[in-house]
Amino acid sequence: MKWLKTSYRLNIETRLDNPGWAGVLSSIMGVILALIVGGFVLRAAGATDPVGTYREIFKEGFGTPKDWQAGIHALFTNTDCPKGSLCFGPLSDTLVKASPILLTTLACIIAFRMKLWNIGADGQMFFGAWAATGIALFVLPKTTDRPVMLGAMALAGILAGFLYGAIPGVLKAVLNINEIITTLMLNYIAYKWLEYFVVVGPWSLGDFESTGNFARAATWPRLTELAERYPITAGLTIHPGIFLGIAAALLLAWIIYRSRWGYEIRVIGNNPRAARYAGMNLKRNIILVMAFSGGLAGLAGMNEVAALRTLSGRFQRGYGFTGVIVAWLARLNPLAAIFVAILFGGLLVGTKLIQPQGIASMLQGVILFIVIGTELLFRYRIQLEKVIPAPAQEPGEPHDSQ
Amino acid sequence: MTESPNAFEMYGIVKRFPGVLANDHVDFSCYVGEVHALLGENGAGKSTLMNVLAGLYRPEAGEITINGRRVSLHSPQDAIANGIGMVHQHFMLVPSHSVAENMVLGLKHPRFILNLRQVEEQVKALGEQYSLSVNPRAKIWELCVGEQQRVEVLKMLFRGARVLILDEPTAVLTPQEVEVLFNTLRDMTRRGHTIVFISHKLDEVVAIADRVTVMRRGKVTAAGMSAKGVTKAQLAQLMVGREITFEVEKNLAEPGEVVLSVMKLSAENDRGLPALREIDVQVRAGEILGIAGVAGNGQRELAEVLTGLRSASGGKMVFGDIELNDHTHWIDVGRRLAHIPEDRAAVGSVANLSVAENLILKNYQRPPIASGWSINNAAVRKNAVRLVDEYQIATPTVETPVRMLSGGNLQRVILAREISGHPKLMVAVHPTRGLDVGATEAVHKLLVKQRNEGAAILLISEDLDELLCLSDRLAVIYEGRLVSEIPIENADIRAIGLMMAGTKVDA
């Protein structure tokens, strides 16, 4: 029973050095680990070959190199995509899916940078969708020029999200009410607000639980509209939303790393007392950042209705929460968010056909869980070590050398 | 006590931090029943060495024996099981818990049912035995700093510490409280306890220690030399590696116009109780007004009200030609009203931001740092490189986060930032607290230089030597009132000490 006397314990020390690559590595490791864990779950759910399933998910989400090659060839020869399948179809679907994710992610990033835990991007997005729909259906005539109409919808979406985000901001700044609770609760108000208008209320087309289709001017132009001239684009639903997201990400990166406001956000987020000491206005910044965050989420809502061409009772919930996950995976870096959002879009598109349907959310959850877990490994050095018996033991007892 | 046995021995201790060799094969040992001072500048490795002994850090190499037995200390619990307890500079107490509750915090016994009354009795008895009396039922937040320190010492005795490590215990105490602490320590050694006294204050080391070990840059420069007959100058040289002048060169003040004028200023503390009661004070260009007082008599509130961190509840403050109040645009004023805050790390700097980013905290809103809505990174860098050079800030690069800097270097960053704005008024609060001799000397020189260049300086400090050496006029604050104001030539350290304690003295 000698081995019983040798005990092991975890020794945890804070790492003082934390190089930039550590964060990147932690995110990548998190994803890989999550895929491994997810593989076991897939097996348990009945998949005989998890690796094959992953390959299938990737193919569904991004296409295969062979498809891309064929597509590029077709592009240059200006012919139809061969083999009947869409060469860039999966990629296009993924980018469409990624655009609302990217925008809600950016909304989370700016708030999280200031340690404001806005988990209400979903609700802010709903209000953005509602306002943009109002403009499209009831404010501007159907004959409005497309750019004017879309621009007005975007502004309305941003403004609605901005105001809806400002509510918890004001509550936090003035009354110090916890923004996690308020933003979470405001989500449900937004869901019900939209439901009232679209399902039973004034905007509903009776049994359809929907507003009916928007005028063409109020919808995103899609690449497939060029199919007459470029056959390769046939069936590609990609629209400018993703570029809107990328532009927003570039803007946010400039704000955070290069602007005076971003400097204030970083100082306040890291040390509010030092920010007060420097004379910064904390209350104003809390309200502004929450509102700005809401504005980005509101833009995501506009983007969705312009892509769906209608607002219905089935308007998808949860982009705001996916944004939380992607924001952490991207380590609150707006440029990294572009890639992670596209990756997540691919994951959502690729897992659409997988049964049971919960697999995609399960993988998302596992990824977030493991990413936050691996962060621990980068902040602390953890060693398993043997405990040398304390002197309380009997004298002369030999030390265990193994 | 020449031939006492050793209480503990440390051999060849190596502890490495990223980029720093904090302990480079250090040997250290203590006799049973002595006060052994561990002396060294900040960053010399003395706290690191003692954290190794207290089980907080694990050394890369070396061994430790206690009462002649080799031990391996993995945690503070291991250390205390071997009779070693450490009182840290920052107290490890739960403010909302009572003294007795803090005693049993983290103990393995009792496991389920806590007989708090019994603990209270024990604490009381222990307190009387060592003349460390505190009310065991008092909540920690109700106690003053000196009392909290007593609780920390009691906590270690309660857990059976035979060797007590005190990390800069006098930094937070008044001269009178230091005397009380020293008496307690002497009493404890008579009862067979061993004290390791970490300090960089030479006077105290000479006053209390039986033996001294001096460290410099992770190495021992003098091991266990007798403290009898050692001079401060000798110790300082061992510590710093060069000669130190204890006097700051200073000519007579030539006060100019009034820069800050405070009339009937009142303010409340965090608990809403009056902290400042109708204070009147003026500071002129080219002079240093020192404010002496025991911590908690309104110094902090005074500094905070003057720098916009706290609202006044009454009275008036005029700075140059502007009145300071809640509507003041503090970012604008902050450039000309410099503030060296009491807490460098928690208030004066942003730990995760770089040296360069910390250096623009007060001027990020004006050119050349700001250009339009953006921040000119080239200018930020240029500013940082210039200040790092001018103020001799030791940092690997200007992009290094300031949390990696030592206390002295962090203070240099703050001073560089505040002084580079050419302030008309400087409010300096405990500017050398926790700094070593070398860094203190540098800070003192910078303050006097500012004065000579025409800045008005309000110096709040608990260090009487510092106040006497730097101030042109000295005021004592007691319970939120300025008790008296005396020209420095007439200052008598004994009388000031009494005034700090609230006794009326005719100066």
Closest alpha carbon within chain A to B77: A390
Size of interface A-B (CB pairs under 8 A): 89
Cα diameter, chain A: 96
Residues 261-280 (A) with a CB less than 8 A from some CB of B? 261-264, 266-267, 270-271, 273-274, 276-280
**Strand duo B219-226 + B211-216: pairing:** antiparallel
Confidence bin at A390 (pLDDT 50/70/90): very low
pLDDT of B248 reads 67
Q: pLDDT (tens digit, 9 = 90+) per residue, B184-215? A: 899 889 988 999 998 877 788 888 899 999 88
Average pLDDT over residues B407-422: 88
In chain B, list all ranges with CATH 3.40.50.300: 6-240, 258-349+405-500
A7: confidence class by pLDDT, cuts 50, 70, 90: low
CB contact under 8 A, A270 and B81: no
Distance CA A69, CA A65 (A): 6
Q: Is the pTM of this model over 0.80?
A: no
- Model confidence at B227: pLDDT above 50: yes
Average pLDDT over residues A76-92: 78
Comparing C-alpha atoms, which of A101, A100, A63 is closest to residue A85?
Answer: A63
ipTM, 2 dp: 0.80
CA distance A294 to B469: 56
Six token digits for residue B308: 């916009």
| pLDDT of res. A401 | 38
User: Residue A380: enclosing H or E segment and its boundaries?
Assistant: strand A380-387
Residue-wise DSSP of B350-369: -TTSBHHHHTTTTTTTSTTT
The DSSP secondary structure of B177-226, one letter per residue, reads HHHHHHHHHHHHHHTT-EEEEEE--HHHHHHH-SEEEEEETTEEEEEEEE
Separation CA B7–CA B27 (nearest Å):
14
Task: Give the end-to-end CA distance of chain A in Å, rounded to a whole number.
Answer: 14
Which residue in B has a C-alpha nearest to residue A9's C-alpha?
B74
Task: Over range A26-46, report the average pLDDT.
Answer: 81
The count of other CB atoms within 10 Å of the CB of residue B325 is: 11
d(CA B372, CA B217): 45
**Which tokens go with A321?**
């929460």
Q: How many CB atoms lie within 10 A of CB A17?
A: 9
Residue range B372-405, pLDDT digits in tens: 899 999 999 999 999 999 888 888 889 988 988 8
Asked whether the beta carbons of B69 and A381 are under 8 A apart, the reply is no
Predicted confidence (pLDDT) at residue B114 exceeds the cutoff of 50: yes
Cβ atoms within 10 A of the Cβ of B262, count? 23
DSSP single-letter state for residue B488 = G
pLDDT of residue A209 exceeding 70:
yes
Report the relative pairing of strands B374-375 and B473-478 from DSSP bridges. Answer: unpaired
The Cα–Cα gap between A1 and B367 comes to: 74
The amino acid that residue B236 corresponds to is A
d(CA B200, CA B235): 10
* Contacts of residue A243, Cβ cutoff 8 Å, sequence gap at least 6: none
> Given a cut of 80, is residue B433 above it in pLDDT?
no
Measured between CB atoms, which of A258, A266, A279 is closest to B374? A258
The reported pLDDT for the residue numbered B175 is 73
User: What pLDDT, on the 0 to 100 scale, is given for residue B2?
Assistant: 45
User: How near does any CA of chain B get to the CA of A207, in Å?
Assistant: 51
Q: Could you tell me which residue, B229 or B453, shows the higher pLDDT?
A: B453
**Closest CA relative to residue A318, chosen from A77, A88, A122, A73:** A122
| pLDDT score at B330 | 78
What beta strand segments (E) does B233-344 contain? 258-268, 274-284, 288-292, 314-319, 322-323, 337-340
- In angstroms, the Cα distances linking B390 to B42, B393, B428, B439 are 21, 8, 20, 15
Lowest-confidence segment of A386-395, B185-194, B232-241, B461-470 by average pLDDT: A386-395
| pLDDT value for A127 | 96
Q: How far apart are CA B179 and CA B87, in angstroms?
A: 18
Band the pLDDT of B19: cuts 50, 70, 90.
Answer: low
Instruction: Collect all residues of chain A within an 8 Å Cβ-Cβ radius of residue B349.
Output: 271, 274
The percent of residues in chain B predicted with pLDDT above 70, rounded, is 94
Q: Domain B258-349+405-500, what fold?
A: Rossmann fold (3.40.50)
A16 to chain B, any CB pair closer than 8 A? The answer is yes
How far is the C-alpha of A86 from the C-alpha of A56, rounded, in Å? 16
CA atoms within 13 A on the CB side of A373: 12
Distance between CA atoms of A394 and A372, rounded to whole angstroms? 44
Both tokens of A360, joined, read 């995609």
CA–CA min distance A326, chain B (Å):
23
Q: What are phi and psi of B340, to 5 degrees?
A: -95, 100
Instruction: Read off the pLDDT of residues A294-315 as tens digits, 9 standing for 90 and up.
Output: 999 999 999 999 999 999 888 8
List of chain A residues whose C-beta atoms are within 8 Å of the C-beta of residue B331? 278-280
Tell me whether residues A270 and B353 touch, CB distance under 8 A. yes
- Shortest distance between the Cα of B206 and any Cα of chain A, in A, equals 35
pLDDT at A372 over 50: yes
Q: Residues B356, B421: contact at Cβ < 8 Å? A: no
Task: Compute CA B183 distance to the chain's CA centroid, rounded to the nearest angstrom.
Answer: 22
Question: Which residues of A are less than 8 Å from B375 in CB distance?
Answer: 258-260, 262-263
Q: What's the CATH number for B6-240? A: 3.40.50.300
Phi then psi dihedrals of residue A103, to 5 deg: -65, -40
What SS3 state is found at A225?
helix
- CA A246, CA B228: separation in Å to the nearest integer? 72
Q: Of the ranges B34-38, B52-56, B91-95, B301-305, which one carries the lowest mean pLDDT score?
A: B91-95
List CB contacts (< 8 A) between A388 and chain B.
71-72
Report chain B's mean pLDDT, rounded to a whole number.
85
Distance between the two ends of chain B, CA-based, in angstroms? Answer: 45
Identify the DSSP state of B44: S
Confidence of residue A118 (pLDDT cuts 50, 70, 90): very high
Question: Smallest Cα–Cα separation from A344: which of A366, A332, A362, A360?
Answer: A360
- How many angstroms separate the CA of residue A277 from the nearest CA in chain B? 7
Q: Look up residue A213 and give its DSSP letter.
A: P
pLDDT value of position A153: 96
Residue A321: which of A107, A58, A24 has the closest Cα? A107
Q: pLDDT of B292-331, one tens digit each?
A: 887 778 888 899 998 888 888 888 888 888 888 877 777 7
Residue of A254, A274, A388 lying closest to B348 (CB–CB): A274
Instruction: Please tell me the predicted confidence (pLDDT) of residue B4.
Output: 66
Cβ count within 10 A of residue B258: 14
Is A20 an interface residue toward B (CB < 8 Å)? no
Per mean pLDDT, which range of A385-389, B32-36, B118-122, B310-314 is the poorest?
Answer: A385-389
Q: How far is CA B106 from CA B93, B153, B167, B284, in A?
A: 11, 16, 21, 53
Q: Which long-range contacts (CB under 8 A, 24 or more apart) does B125-132 make?
A: B126/B154, B126/B157, B126/B158, B127/B154, B130/B154, B130/B157, B130/B184, B130/B187, B130/B188, B130/B191, B131/B183, B131/B184, B131/B187, B132/B157, B132/B184
Mean pLDDT value across residues B52-78 = 88
Say which amino acid occupies B220: V
Beta-carbon contacts of B195 under 8 Å, excluding residues fewer than 6 positions away, are B34, B35, B36, B163, B164, B165, B166, B185, B188, B189
- Nearest in space to A90 (alpha carbons), one of A67, A117, A115: A67
- Nearest-by-CA chain A residue for B75: A11
- The shortest C-alpha distance from A278 to chain B (Å) reads 6
- Residues A240 and B346: their CA atoms lie apart, in Å, by 46
* Residues B246-265: tens digit of each pLDDT: 566 677 777 888 888 899 99
pLDDT at A270: 93
Does the domain at A94-338 match CATH 1.10.3470? Answer given as yes
